[in-house]
């Protein structure tokens, strides 16, 4: 996929062998580009495990963008200590640039 070209890709697979989650990261900037968990598997700790898999090798601070309208994802990140660093606008709408282990404002 062109959007993830050059990124490290991690996947979560169910016991039955189904792809249930994915995380991609642009290592030079510690930027998490995608973190998705299949809706049938959300709330089971898969997203948390994917993020935790980065800790042994990806130096902090980590960053990512999250759409301002994605309240569920924003709450997920807020509960894990992510902070809002700035607000931006792109083709998909208003987003928050979030950081972990950096100074920033609390998420709304």
1-59: CATH homologous superfamily? Gcn5-related N-acetyltransferase (GNAT) (3.40.630.30)
Split at pLDDT 50, 70, 90, the class of 2 is low
Task: Determine the average pLDDT of the residues in 60-68.
Answer: 96
Domain ranges in the chain are: 1-59, 60-108
The candidate with the shortest Cα–Cα distance to 4, out of 24, 22, 20, is: 24
| pTM for the structure as a whole | 0.85
Question: For 38-61, what is each residue's pLDDT tens digit?
Answer: 999 999 999 999 999 999 999 999
Spatial distance between the Cα atoms of 80 and 13, rounded to a whole number of angstroms: 22
């Amino acid at each position: 996929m062109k959007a993830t070209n050059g990124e490290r890709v991690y996947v979560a697979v169910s016991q039955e062998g189904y792809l249930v989650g994915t995380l991609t990261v642009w290592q030079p900037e510690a930027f998490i580009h995608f973190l998705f968990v299949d809706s049938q598997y959300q709330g089971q700790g898969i997203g948390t495990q994917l993020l935790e898999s980065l800790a042994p090798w990806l130096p902090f601070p980590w960053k990512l963008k999250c759409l301002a309208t994605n309240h569920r994802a924003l709450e997920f990140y807020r509960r894990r200590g992510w902070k809002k660093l700035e607000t931006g606008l792109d083709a998909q709408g208003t987003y928050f640039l979030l950081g972990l282990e950096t100074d920033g404002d609390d998420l709304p």
